[in-house]
Structure 1
């Protein structure tokens, strides 16, 4: 925590804040002095400080509206909206085997939830001097690849929506930005496993993690705290002239392929 709390006096909503990246963001905001309302389908451990939990399925428009209005009513306003809630979709061995059964669920949470949260927060912010909206996308929405195609499509949609909303809402001094995490160890990889992969889940996840490490220029592992630090930047006044951006937090993965350097031959 910094010596001077960056978010003192501010009110924030974090969807999907009961665990994973959302939990890390919510904890950092509380530590920086914000009053935080967490919306999630399942309640996690209490955050402490000025915080409260509102049961929320972000694919339900009425529940998103209730989440935002609760923050305003309980804490007197809304300065920061973090649309973090997301689901991974089912991992299939090849796209030809994908029955697309989870399409509506993935799009409902990952896209509709982000759009509804942005809209409802902006309706208040537009009448009260502006604010900051932060949407969580993924490097899977930037960089093409195999597997979880519906998830990738949903995260690409979040990026385009974020930029479009930033243009439209700038008139009201509302900043809209996105964070694109990659290779951060959370439970989302495990949740994408299915069928026979569930029987050897640890091997399945480690295979994916190994590929992630091979594709990442920086060799240190990314952490939830790295993402929370970026969220703090976008939420606070340091980014007051920043909008419409997408920040990858991925150790350089989307920047380009890793250069494999051969060791120098020893002189005889």
Structure 2
């Protein structure tokens, strides 16, 4: 590690597990003080204890915009500032066999966590950063917000909204030396795929996820599996001065999936 974030303070929402945990660990390893926010108190508390004195866990449901504002004030009070805001918390919504069967019952929950919380986190972090020399805001979207496809329609719509919002915020906040970028992970093995299956038992759930993963591998140009560490590396780039001239971008971390599906060609005869 190179201490690229020494002296910096970061917030990672949804930081108790999955991608958020990977980001929190990488930031802390690079010297940052990290506030980890999540609804999962047990995992968040354990993670902060494992990282050590440079980590603080705060239980927070980010769909409540007042709690998001409280994260910023807590980071400033406890660590003395805020330089990096990662709006990572997200929920998948329920996958139905077809859109005609979707009752849209989870629409408000998905939008509250995936869109409203991102907007509130960006706004509240920017309010502090605009008065303290700027900073970096990183919003987690998905290749599901870039590529059209069937299933989890509300999730796809929410992630597309994050992309458009990120670009708009980047334009408005550039005046304050605040950079706003988005990362679009794809085919990264976390629990979010399995959580989108509605009412399945464990065996069927595992079968469902295996089929999804197989389809992802078939569509992906790069055949190695993406990892949480791949996403953390991208977030580190956006968090540091290495990206000081980069804002309003969306970076897919997907093995080339969003570039296009693999075309199978028969080998030529010699």
CA RMSD of aligned residues (A): 1.0
Pick from 8, 11, 26 the counterpart of residue 9 of structure 2. Answer: 11
CA contact (8 A) 1:79 1:132 kept: yes
Per the TM alignment, residue 90 of structure 1 is displaced from its structure 2 partner at its CA by 0.1
Q: Out of 60-69 and 147-156, give the one that drifted further.
A: 60-69
Per the TM alignment, residue 194 of structure 1 is displaced from its structure 2 partner at its CA by 1.1
Aligned to 1:29: 27
Pick from 53, 59, 63 the counterpart of residue 57 of structure 2. Answer: 53
Aligned to 1:68: 72
Task: Structure 2 unaligned segments of length 5 or more: list them.
Answer: none
Q: In the alignment, is residue 130 of structure 1 matched against residue 134 of structure 2?
A: yes
Per the TM alignment, residue 199 of structure 1 is displaced from its structure 2 partner at its CA by 5.0
TM-score, L = length of structure 2 = 0.96
The whole-number CA distance in structure 1 between the counterparts of 2:57 and 2:253 is 27
Structure 2 SS opposite 1:134 = strand
Per the TM alignment, residue 264 of structure 1 is displaced from its structure 2 partner at its CA by 3.4
Aligned to 1:167: 171
The whole-number CA distance in structure 2 between the counterparts of 1:155 and 1:197 is 28
The whole-number CA distance in structure 2 between the counterparts of 1:256 and 1:203 is 26
Aligned to 1:189: 193
Structure 1 SS opposite 2:47 = coil
Task: Structure 1 unaligned segments of length 5 or more: list them.
Answer: none
Q: In the alignment, is residue 20 of structure 1 matched against residue 21 of structure 2?
A: no
Per the TM alignment, residue 89 of structure 1 is displaced from its structure 2 partner at its CA by 0.2
The whole-number CA distance in structure 2 between the counterparts of 1:140 and 1:68 is 29
CA contact (8 A) 1:197 1:204 kept: no
The whole-number CA distance in structure 2 between the counterparts of 1:8 and 1:75 is 13
Taking the TM superposition and a 5 Å limit, the aligned residue runs for 1:212-223 are: 212-223=216-227
Deviation string 1:109-128 (CA, Å, 9 cap, x unpaired) is 00001000000000000000
Structure 2 SS opposite 1:12 = strand
Taking the TM superposition and a 5 Å limit, the aligned residue runs for 1:68-147 are: 68-147=72-151
TM-score, L = length of structure 1 = 0.96
Aligned to 1:263: 267
Per the TM alignment, residue 46 of structure 1 is displaced from its structure 2 partner at its CA by 2.5
The whole-number CA distance in structure 1 between the counterparts of 2:212 and 2:220 is 12
The whole-number CA distance in structure 1 between the counterparts of 2:72 and 2:102 is 35
CA contact (8 A) 1:141 1:159 kept: yes
Per the TM alignment, residue 257 of structure 1 is displaced from its structure 2 partner at its CA by 2.0
The whole-number CA distance in structure 2 between the counterparts of 1:224 and 1:209 is 16
